Structure 1
Amino acid sequence: MTTTTPKPDRSQPIWAPDPDQARASTLADFSSFADERFAAGVRNPLDYTGLWTWSTEHIADFWEAVWTFFGIHSHTPYTSALTEETMPGAQWFSGSTVNYAEYALTNEHTDSPALICIQEDGRETTVTWTELRSRVAALAVTLRQHNVTKGDRVVGYLPPGQHAVIGFLAAASIGAIWSQCAQDFAATAVIDRFGQLEPTVLVAADGYSYNGRHYDRRDELATIRRGLPTVGHTIVVDHHTPDAFAGEEYTDVIRWNEAVDFDAVPNFTPVPFDHPLWVLFSSGTTGLPKGIVHSHGGVLLSLLSLLGLHMDLRTGDRLFWYTSTNWMMWNVVVSSLLTGATAVIYDGSPTFPDAGTLWRIADTHDVTFLGTSPGHLQACERAALVPKDNFDLSSLRTIGSTGSTLPAASYHWVHDNVGAHIQLSSTTGGTDAVTAFACSAPTTPVWPGELSARGLGIAMEAWDGNGHPLIGEVGELVITKPVPSMPVFFWNDPDGQRYHDAYFAHYPGVWRHGDWVAITTDGSVVMNGRSDSTLNRHGVRLGSSEIYQAVEKLPQIVESLIVGVDESEGSYWMPLFVVLADGIELDDNLVTEIRTIIRTQASPRHVPDEVIAVRSLPHTRTGKKIEVPLKRILQGAARDDVLSIDSIDDAAAVDQFVTLGNARRSALATPTTL
């Protein structure tokens, strides 16, 4: 895919940095530091292009500068910042021993808030830095008392809130490995993930609330416990049903309050730089979800760069990014603690009781950086909401958006309806490297429809199919040099083959991410959607296989296929196509049955936007579904540009999708008369 991409709107930037504020940013301080200590050659601290060029041409020096600038403490000396610039297999800070939780919790803060946790019903809990350190230390003692040691797995089935944060930090503090699933995931989906890890301890809540309704998850929890035979103890957050976990079958259950409500002194276990910190799971498109393992040192470095330099977070700031515990943005929010900022966490629907919920939280809690998604911003626009008229957003400095492509119109909506002074930071990255590849910076302007800059230390390019870099044309997003937070390995991948195939099979030694992008002449980035078959709904990556497993259990369904389509106006359409058994019609009752089984056996997020009956589905000659070519056809690509008809078992089936795509785009292009 190599087509010329005009810049979306270059009449003027929608936001430009104030020079005095830019000079006062942490990024400007770092630029001067890098020039003085590491001979970066960047004389003007506001010269982002020069700093980015140095950071990618001298990546070892750049990451050592980040290490030194932010004062990362190693319990043992390291030999070099980077042994070789190889992918996969780069060795960072060999010989060093660190601990992510130690860095996050060892600071001068006392009674100021570390966490502000808000529930949908209005209840709020503030956890100070002193309280957070104490509870993490106590839970770490509890884990050690139940024989959890370095390298063991501790998993959470939890909503957003203090319990997930404390559980993660306690596990990290002793060198255990954390993983979690949100509570809207069905038990089977949770077991598919956690079962691979053979966890020792499960931390779980009895339920959660969303969109004005409470969801009791005790039955799901019981199924999960039965499906994880290695779990020796379950720590239960039983706020909704405090008397539910009694009886002989619950002798292994520890109440949350018993696990954390006692005095304890923090005791951090130093671990090697590349020791696993957490396991994030892929979507599961081609089978069981892949366990993506990131390291203590890699996450610490990459997220200090993202949060401290790009997002300019520091002590006194408050980051509120609406996210579930399934999305890697939860990991980013928790990592704001590394900068001394306060993490504001909301457990509930972003539009309950109305579209103003997130803005109301930003107002009430003096949020300085608000993170959301294109879908939420567009929902606010459709609701005719004008946040600047309804809320006091004087503390708000930046709005972040990620999860899908933010259309240019949304930039203008934020400028006109939220505030012209607010920087809009559209960001791309992913679960894979748990950082941003392209985002904004305090020293770069914002142009509608564009991501302001490639991230520092991120050697990102757009390549054509032959591995040639492109400027001003759409190509594959690739990373040509290693990044510290790239996975150290995939779980249960002893020879590294699955890891290699996921990122390095297409361009040997170069990370291929699966996005279409164009890089402009001044280094900004224009996103053009996914180039692979992963469903990416509002930033949460979903597996098609989980949908197929649910739907194709129904006797009325012969076969199904789901794709996620990035549409021209910025929306994301996720239709499910079904082939029906003989004599079956797709009526409202069957659609409801399909939606229900997906919701109960996968999650509400997996439920499609539309269910469409088709005569048949095309396959490769070996019987594989062709999700990516069909997605691209629905997005407007010519049939013969995306597949060879000779390699398909049913050419007429492909033509159905050509017709559907044309009709869909025509309908979207037709103005609605009110």
Structure 2
Amino acid sequence: GLPKGIVHGHGGVVVEHLKAVALQSDMGRDDTFFWYTSPSWMMWNFQVAGLLVGATVVCYDGSPSAPHPDELWRIAARLRVTVLGTSPGYVLGCIKADAAPSRTHDLSALRTVGITGSSLPPTSSLWLRDQVGVQTSSISGGTDVVSAFIGGVRTVPVWPGELSAPFLGVALDAWDEDGKPVRGDVGELVITKPMPSMPVSFWRDPDGKRYHDAYFDVYPGVWRHGDWITITDHGSVVVHGRSDSTLNRHGIRMGSADIYQAVERLPEVAEALVIGVEQPDGGYWMPLFVVLAEGVELTDEVRERINDAVRTEVSPRHVPDEIIAAPGVPHTRTGKKLEVPIKKLFQGRDAARVVERSAVDDPDLLDWYAEQRRS
């Protein structure tokens, strides 16, 4: 949506980062820390926090996959990186390119691969295990707190498709619509006690109404982050996607991440975007927009391969109503798919009100989606 203008307190963020880097990530003076990020993303702050414990920080200006798909692994090998951070998208790109990092590069210094930006599919986690052979620390948090809520830690196992544990000091829970904790089932991600890095305020929000409406309008006094999660019986967490973009077909809720894990593994699909649109007549329309790989056309055969992947790997109930070839998927500047703004576009909202164009990586794509709504 429109920018919140978050105001953070310096002391609270420093305390949170010291905890996250020194304790949760177990970094110190002997570590070399490289997270592929940009200064507009909170992961830049997270990486710079490595300096708080005396770690060496790697700054990189360039592509993660050029001139070769395994460019990040090459840099990690050359600089003897011990903690490397990247995204599920980069890992998937390496899988599609048949990269074999541990065979082609000396990664003997590496001990942890961090992942964030979206959910890491189980298959990608297993690929990292087999092709890199170090701990995978998949984390989830937010710019809102400049930190993570859930992630890996060296004392807890890694379960493919799951985030190993809540971060230290994070009172994380999953609640149902009535505000009751749930286990083994999908619930809203809530933080029941304050974290030191929670925003002080929003810019130009003198009465705090926008701040309150952003986090506390569903459960009074309890932070609702807007993600669907499942807390497992062994204490790990599965992140299904944004709760306000979660797909709800015939009463069965499904995170968009589950759809992407199935569809984006297909060689014909470069990227996908799925939305569920509640319609005025009570109907529910769930289109899947696909960015096709170079040279691929959206034939009936490709459509059936996509539908079959969703049907067999996700749920027969969540086979899309329509598959539409798209020129691209719009993202925030930090790489998150703009599911909710696109959903609002298809529900009739004005494009100028659903998202700030300057916050989109390719603003022209918004016009294409708006035109699809009109047609």
Which residue of the other structure, out of 242, 250, 257, is the alignment partner of 1:566?
A: 257
* Count of aligned pairs: 286
- The answer to whether the 8 Å contact 1:575/1:608 transfers is no
SS at match of 1:470: coil
> Distance between the aligned counterparts of 2:337 and 2:181, measured in 1?
38
Is 1:297 paired with 2:14? no
Counterparts of 1:604 and 1:290 in 2: how far apart (Å)? 15
Structure 2 vs 1, CA of residues 294 and 567 (structure 1 numbering), >3 Å: closer, same or farther?
Answer: same
- Any idea what the Cα deviations from partners look like across 1:199-254, whole Å, max 9, x if unmatched? xxxxxxxxxxxxxxxxxxxxxxxxxxxxxxxxxxxxxxxxxxxxxxxxxxxxxxxx
C-alpha deviation, 1:354, in angstroms: 1.1
Q: Is 1:500 paired with 2:212?
A: yes
CA pair 624-396 structure 1, distance change in 2 beyond 3 A: closer
- Which residue is equivalent to 2:66? 352
Choose which of 229, 232, 237 in structure 2 pairs with 1:517: 229
Query: Which residue among 107, 116, 121 is the counterpart of 1:402?
Result: 116
Q: Deviations over 1:626-671 (max 9, x none)?
A: x9xxxxxxxxxxxxxxxxxxxxxxxxxxxx99xxxxxxxxxxxxxx
RMSD: 3.3
> Counterparts of 2:87 and 2:120 in 1: how far apart (Å)?
8
Aligned residue identity for 1:440 = G
Find out whether 1:426 has 2:125 as its counterpart.
no
Runs of 4 or more consecutive aligned structure 1 residues displaced over 6 Å after TM superposition:
602-609
Q: Is 1:468 the counterpart of 2:180 in the alignment?
A: yes
Distance in 2 (CA, whole Å) between partners of 1:436 and 1:333 is 13
Contact 2:5 2:202 in 1 (8 A): yes
Gap regions ≥5 residues in structure 1: 1-284, 535-563, 578-593, 628-655, 658-674
Instruction: Tell me how far apart the structure 1 counterparts of residues 39 and 96 of structure 2 sit (CA, whole Å).
Output: 27
The partner residue of 1:416 within 107, 130, 147 is 130
Identify if the C-alpha distance between structure 1 residues 415 and 516 changes in structure 2 by more than 3 Å, giving closer, same or farther: same
Partner Cα distance (1:523, 1:293) in 2: 32
- Alignment pair present for 1:437 and 2:149: yes
Task: Answer whether contact 1:595 1:608 (CA < 8 A) is retained.
Answer: no
Q: Does 1:343 align with 2:57?
A: yes
Separation in 2, partners of 1:302, 1:487: 12
8 Å contact from structure 2 (residues 17, 49) kept in 1: yes
SS at 2:106 equivalent: coil
Corresponding residue to 1:477 among 183, 186, 189: 189
CA contact (8 A) 2:40 2:334 kept: no
Match of residue 76, structure 2, among 359, 362, 381? 362
Q: Deviations over 1:495-549 (max 9, x none)?
A: 1111111000110000000100000122110111111259xxxxxxxxxxxxxxx
Question: What is the aligned partner in structure 2 of residue 385 from structure 1?
Answer: 99
Deviation of 1:349 (Å)? 1.0
Partners in 2 of 1:400 and 1:359 — Cα distance?
13
The answer for unaligned runs of 5 or more in structure 2 is 247-254, 265-270, 277-325, 355-371
- What's the secondary structure of 1:451's corresponding residue? coil
1:532, 1:505 → 2: CA distance? 14
Q: Tell me what 2:88 maps to.
A: 374
Deviations 1:159-208 (A, max 9, x none): xxxxxxxxxxxxxxxxxxxxxxxxxxxxxxxxxxxxxxxxxxxxxxxxxx
The 8 Å contact of residues 227 and 243 in structure 2, kept in 1 or not, is answered as yes
Find the residue that maps to 1:527 and give its secondary structure. strand
**Structure 1 residues 430 and 617 mapped into 2: Cα distance closer, same or farther (>3 Å)?**
closer
Shift of residue 363, structure 1, vs aligned partner:
0.3
TM-score (norm 1): 0.40
| Distance of aligned partners of 1:343 and 1:513 in 2 relative to their CA distance in 1, 3 Å threshold | same
Distance in 1 of aligned mates of 2:227 and 2:338:
22
Quick one: structure 1 residues 367 and 480, their matched pair in 2 at CA, closer, same or farther if it must change by over 3 Å? same
User: Aligned partners of 1:617 and 1:331: how far apart in 2?
Assistant: 35
Contact 1:566–1:573 under 8 Å retained in 2 = no
Counterpart CA distance in 2 for 1:386 and 1:417 is 6
Corresponding position: 1:488 with 2:179 = no
Change (3 A) 1:606 1:402: closer
Cα deviation code 1:422-442 (max 9, x no counterpart): 110000001011111000111
Structure 1 455/608 Cα, relative in aligned 2: closer, same or farther at 3 Å?
A: closer
Whole-angstrom CA distance in 1 between matches of 2:160 and 2:224:
26
Q: What aligned pairs does 1:570-609 form with structure 2 within 5 A after superposition?
A: 570=261, 571=264, 573-574=272-273
Over alpha carbons, which structure has the higher Rg? 1
SS in 2 for 1:329: helix
1 CA distance for matches of 2:184 and 2:334? 38
8 Å CA contact 1:565–1:573 kept in 2: the answer is: no
Partners in 1 of 2:195 and 2:338 — Cα distance?
A: 35
Cα deviations by residue, 1:364-408 (Å, 9 ceiling, x for unpaired): 100000000000001001000000011000000000000000011
Query: Whole-Å Cα distance in 2 between the matches of residues 299 and 315 of structure 1?
Result: 21
Q: Share of identical aligned residues, percent?
A: 53
- The offset of 1:567, in angstroms, is 4.0
CA distance in 2, matches of 1:343, 1:525: 29
